[in-house]
Amino acid sequence: MSKILVTGGCGYIGSHTIIDLVENGYEVISVDNNSRSNQVILKGVEQITGQKIKNYKVDLCDFDDTYAIFQENTDIEGIIHFAAYKAVGESVEKPLMYFENNLVSLINLLKCVKEFNIPYFVFSSSCTVYGNADEIPVTEKTPPKPAESPYGYTKQMSEQIVNEFTKSSGMQCIILRYFNPAGAHPSAIIGEMPLGKPQNLVPGITQTAIGRIEKMSVHGSDYPTRDGSCIRDYIHVCDLAHAHTLALKYLKDGSNADQCEVFNLGSGNGVSVLEAIQSFEKVSGQKLNYELGPRRPGDVVAIYANNDLARSVLGWDPAYTLDDIMSTAWKWEQRLKADETVFSNQSGELN
Ligand code: WQD
């Protein structure tokens, strides 16, 4: 059985990807220092898959600790690298923390790839690398503009590091540019667990609806868009997860034409903030308490994906709709409220 190392395996996209990998026959181990995640999520993964997933609670910025994982697991065939800080606003306040964490962890991993001849590497990137694109929908060939935040720069720089590294090694790599990941596993056993007040729209909507947030603010209603609010491409986390399994298969089959290929992972549909709210109100049957507030610095006006390449080359076919995103996110938020004790347990054990 092929063993895959998932970094950030206790995170939102990492945990959902582990489920898809296991369901497709992979053996998976995780490395996650739990600085932004809770190991309890792997109990949920185990509940869904029946597989106990080992997590190495290691900071990838510590080279020796990272190296030791590979010494202990000499049969790692591939790495899916999620672990990174990803809060746009925080990155503006603490740029050095973002550059150090996101780049040193990647470089340490690639040093181990070199040392242990790991053949396959899938890198978690983001549509943020496009900045305020001149043309939308964006394709993989759309030239990147200056990033809107240090977080965005770490993704642009990481892509360059990975690309350059493949030229000096035998590593075969796929870079996946996520648009806006959202929603939760349909079982409502796992989902997004933002630390503190959520920055992202969908958890902001569901936490407002459940009463954890008094009133949500729409960040800007005077943009040059069809209803004045920003346009994004929301993609269900389970669709996103499956794309990673397809990317690994593509590499293992030797189908990749180049050593480092890039794919957009978005639904291909542009949705405004107000349209997203309308979708939530429709599926939940609840009116959302929100106001039209000021613009948020760093926001791009509109971006959504041309996902033809992932569809035609990887065979990716995103199945979940915007309504599915909202209904699964809402079901998960209601589960979190019902089982507050379950997720407040920091020991990582499900009560
Ligand atoms: C979406 C839209 C907000 C909250 C970022 C990163 C991207 C990825 C996803 C990591 C924007 C508006 C939001 C709220 C609002 N991160 N909004 N009220 O900024 O498009 O993307 O997160 O992988 O790389 O750049 O996502 O969900 O924060 O915002 O009006 O309470 O919703 O202004 O227009 P974003 P988001």
pLDDT at 341: 65
Cβ atoms of 157 and 103 within 8 Å: the answer is yes
Length of the chain: 351
pLDDT at 342: 60
Cβ atoms of 36 and 98 within 8 Å: the answer is no
Measured in angstroms, how far is the CA atom of residue 86 from the centroid of ligand 1? 11
pLDDT at 2: 84
Identify whether 151 is a catalytic site residue.
yes
Cβ atoms of 322 and 183 within 8 Å: the answer is no
pLDDT digits (tens, 9 = 90+) for 1-56: 789 999 999 999 999 999 999 999 999 999 999 999 999 999 999 999 999 999 99
pLDDT at 252: 96
Q: CB under 8 Å to 104, separation ≥6 — which residues?
A: 60, 61
Which element (helix H / strand E) includes 330?
Answer: helix 322-338
Q: Which residues line ligand 1 (CB under 6 A)?
A: 86, 88, 126, 128, 178, 180, 199-201, 204, 216-219, 230, 232, 273, 296, 299
Split at pLDDT 50, 70, 90, the class of 343 is: low
Residue 77: how many other CB atoms lie within 10 Å: 17
CA angle 226, 227, 230 (to 5 degrees): 90
Residue with CA at minimum distance from ligand 1 atom 27:
200
Nearest atom, ligand 1, residue 202 CA: 27
**Domains of the chain by start residue, with CATH:** 3-338 (3.40.50.720)
* β-sheet bridge partners, residue 79: 5, 121
pTM of the full structure: 0.96
Measured in angstroms, how far is the CA atom of residue 166 from the centroid of ligand 1? 31
* β-sheet bridge partners, residue 272: 231
Model confidence at 289: pLDDT above 90: yes
Nearest atom, ligand 1, residue 13 CA: 23
Question: Which of 176, 231, 232 to mutate for ligand 1's pocket (most ligand atoms within 8 Å of CB)?
Answer: 232
Cα 116 to chain center, whole Å?
26
pLDDT digits (tens, 9 = 90+) for 170-210: 999 999 999 999 999 999 999 999 888 999 999 999 999 99
Measured in angstroms, how far is the CA atom of residue 21 from the centroid of ligand 1? 27
pLDDT digits (tens, 9 = 90+) for 87-146: 888 999 999 999 999 999 999 999 999 999 999 999 999 999 999 899 999 999 999 999
Measured in angstroms, how far is the CA atom of residue 56 from the centroid of ligand 1? 30
Catalytic residue among 26, 98, 120, 151: 151
Question: Which of 296, 300, 304 to mutate for ligand 1's pocket (most ligand atoms within 8 Å of CB)?
Answer: 296
* Three-state DSSP state, 252: helix
* Three-state DSSP state, 17: helix
CA torsion sign, 84 to 251 to 141 to 235?
Answer: negative
Cβ atoms of 217 and 76 within 8 Å: the answer is no
pLDDT at 345: 47
Nearest atom, ligand 1, residue 148 CA: 25
